Amino acid sequence: MERIREWIAQRGLPQISGKRSKPQDGAAKPSIALIHFADRFTATTGETIAFTAWMLNDSRETLTGVSLIERSFTNANLENLSYDTSPHPEELRRGNLGPGESVELHFSYLVREEDVIHRGEIVSALQVRAVSSAGVIWDECDATVQLYPKKLGNSRENGHITPLLDVI
């Protein structure tokens, strides 16, 4: 877990909050953490967004039935999107995850013109669930990418510089 925290700090991503809580008897409560982020903060038509999801067993016991669940993947118009590449469904159901173990999964999406028309952002929402001695435990995390229109800059045609407008 510390390795993940250091990696996040080096990249300037939001810190993950501690999931450990102490019940009355002082024993650590089993927990699982999900870190889900995109490789960029902004994107435009034709750019690929690479999403990473880390499922981390942040407890001292082996968790069973570990599964990554796709909650939603939408653009600003709340249209349901589909990843262009994603793990095989069997990879989303990890089975057991030992104490301190983690699993990293990758998704990608090519931004389409229909996404940028609405501007706003693309939101990828995931959830991880597992079974522990305390019952079902879970964590959720959203990865968001702000969309913007493509700037084409200046066009040089017939030796003349012509400013171009935003393309949506």
| Domain ranges (residues) in the chain | 2-163
**20 falls in which pLDDT band (50, 70, 90)?**
very low
Do the Cβ atoms of 118 and 138 come closer than 8 Å? no
Helix (H, G, I), strand (E, B) or coil at 113: helix
User: DSSP secondary-structure letter at 60?
Assistant: S
Which position has the token pair 């079974």? 131
pLDDT score, position 118: 83
Is residue 5 within a helix (H) or strand (E), and if so which, with residue range? helix 2-11
Dist CA 91 CA 135 (whole Å): 22
Query: Which CATH number fits the domain 2-163, given the four candidates 2.40.50.100, 1.10.540.10, 1.10.3720.10, 2.60.40.10?
Result: 2.60.40.10
Alpha carbon of 13 to those of 38, 40, 158: distances in Å? Answer: 10, 11, 46
| Cα atoms found within 13 Å of the Cα of residue 108, Cβ hemisphere only | 7
pLDDT at 69 over 70: yes
Over residues 18-32, the mean pLDDT reads 55
Task: Name the pLDDT band for 119 (thresholds 50, 70, 90).
Answer: confident
Q: Tokens for 147? A: 């969309």
Query: How far apart are the C-alpha atoms of 39 and 109, rounded to whole Å?
Result: 11
Two structure tokens written together for 154: 């200046």
pLDDT at 12: 52
Residue 49 has pLDDT above 80, yes or no: yes
Which range (10-19, 36-45, 91-100, 134-143) has the least confidence?
10-19
